[in-house]
Chains A and B, each alone.
Chain A
Amino acid sequence: MSDPRIDEALRPMLPRLRRFALWLARDPHAADDLVQSTVERALSKWASRREDESLRAWLFAILYRLFLDGKRRASRYARFIGSLHEEEPTWPSAERVAIAHSTLAAFADLPVEQRSLLLWITVEGMSYREVADILEIPIGTVMSRLSRARRALRLLGDGGAEIPPLRLLK
């Protein structure tokens, strides 16, 4: 199972996985852990991957499920120790600078699924079919959820009326 071709295929996906993890977990360390777990899972499940399946969608699906599982565990634990509010991860200062941008701030505030949908479709340019496969829902449902996500982003981002011209981010 130590096929260098597998590593070659995985390597270019890492920055994309990390970006997705960063926007899911909103914490750089948690993001790195997520990517690492994703690659581990991918290495051990490589043989079960369908040949026709897009590698990127497959990896995103693994990462997304790992994140949700972790979140579920964390909230079960939170309930267990009697604290009902879910701890929101804190952004380190560098990220907070970027967050100051209203669109990004709105994006960061979206629910996990809406954030994932927008990242997969608008940023990664994935097809609706791929996204439907990841979420295991029909394409029609992807469409309606995408509408909801786009409206939510609008609403949170001050309606976009006074969006300043794009700033360059470090």
Chain B
Amino acid sequence: MTTTPPSEHDIHAYVDGHLDGPRRGEVERYLSRHPERAEEVHAWRQDAQQLRTLLAGDLGATPSQEATLDPVAIRMRRHKRRVTRAAIAASLFLCLALGGAGGWAARGMGTGSTAPMADAMQAYQLLAVDHGVGMDITTGNEGDLRAWLAGRVGATAHLPDLADAGFRPMGGRLFATDQGPAAMVLYDDGKGHTVSFYVRPPGAARRLLPRGEREDNGLLANYWSDGWHNYAVVALADAAGRAAAQRVVVKAI
């Protein structure tokens, strides 16, 4: 002869089928005596049952969804994004550094034309000194490097085959410049000589370089153009570096 209504918890647990034993009996007894409440509770049960049935169909996913939402894929994308972010940060930093260095190098120049391929020498200084720490692509495979170069700087940018000159590529690095994306590939002859091959578009002004050579700050730069891009080969300005650069330039032009 219970007159106290069951708790809200027990009513819901009854609706959701979580209630067993005597408490379930109590709820049933109560409902049998309170038809208006019973109507609502049974309707709730019916609704719950319907929702379960109707939403069961939403569990399916297309294979492409499964592939994009798979944790492995998400992990990979996350990693890639981090690498890209780091690369963007690094190239922004380099832009500032090169811009600052270029500005410093251009001080006192009346017409405002900077020394040719100063960016190539800066790039060499940044990377060759640490022997390639911080490269975007590290491979000795010239085919891979060629494809990488074509994809980043342009299909017309060509990479010399320096195997005859005794130089093997170590990897490459992209730079953002005012003229567009530039790339540097580092070569090593296995005897401690590092030579860089630098290529950059001529820019909107199409400022192509005549063949030339200059020394600055202990570095030697040979530069030229093939009509599509400006190129530079940079090496240390010592006897060994000069000889190495000469071998490379002869092969590259």
Taking beta carbons and an 8 Å cutoff, which residues of A are in contact with B? 2, 6-7, 10-11, 14-16, 18-19, 22-23, 32, 35-36, 39-40, 43, 98, 101, 103-104, 107, 118-119, 121-123, 125, 127-128, 139-140, 143-144, 146-147, 150-151, 153-154, 157, 159-160, 163, 166, 169-170
Contacts and interface: CB of A to CB of B under 8 A. Distances in A.
Nearest to B58: A19
Interface in B150-208: none
Contacts of B66: 14
A18 B12 contact: no
Secondary structure type dominating chain B contacts:
helix
Given A15-B59, A154-B47, A32 B54 contact: no
A14 to B, nearest CB: 5
Nearest to A17: B69
Contacts of B40: 151, 154
Nearest to B9: A143
Interface in B18-52: 18, 40, 43-44, 46-48, 50-52
Interface of B: 7-9, 11-13, 15-16, 18, 40, 43-44, 46-48, 50-55, 57-61, 65-66, 68-72, 74-75, 78
A11 B73 CA distance: 12
B53 A39 contact: no
Contacts of A103: 47, 50-51, 54
Contacts of A23: 55, 58
Contacts, number: 105
B61 A118 contact: no
Nearest to B17: A125
A118 B54 contact: no
Contacts of A14: 61, 66, 69-70
10 contacts: A7-B71, A11-B70, A18-B65, A103-B47, A128-B12, A128-B13, A143-B9, A154-B40, A160-B47, A163-B46
A44 to B, nearest CB: 8
Contacts of A11: 70-71
Given A39-B69, A43-B74, A122 B52 contact: yes
A52 B50 CA distance: 32
Given A43-B75, A103-B47, A139-B9, A22 B69 contact: no
A101 to B, nearest CB: 6
Contact of A163 (B50, B65, B72): B50
A122 B54 contact: no
Nearest to A160: B43
Nearest to A122: B48
Contact of A36 (B55, B58, B69): B69
B16 A153 contact: no
Given A144-B8, A154-B47, A160-B46, A39 B58 contact: no
Contacts of A15: 59-61
B73 to A, nearest CB: 9
Contacts of A119: 51, 55
Contact of B55 (A19, A143, A151): A19
Contacts of A163: 46, 50
B51 A98 contact: no
Q: Which 8 A-B pairs rank lowest in CB-CB distance, beginning with the nearest?
A: A122-B48, A7-B71, A19-B58, A143-B8, A15-B59, A169-B57, A10-B71, A150-B44
A64 B50 CA distance: 23
Given A10-B71, A143-B8, A147-B8, A125 B16 contact: yes
Contacts of A6: 71
B54 A169 contact: yes
A121 B54 contact: no
A121 B44 contact: no
Contacts of B16: 121-122, 125
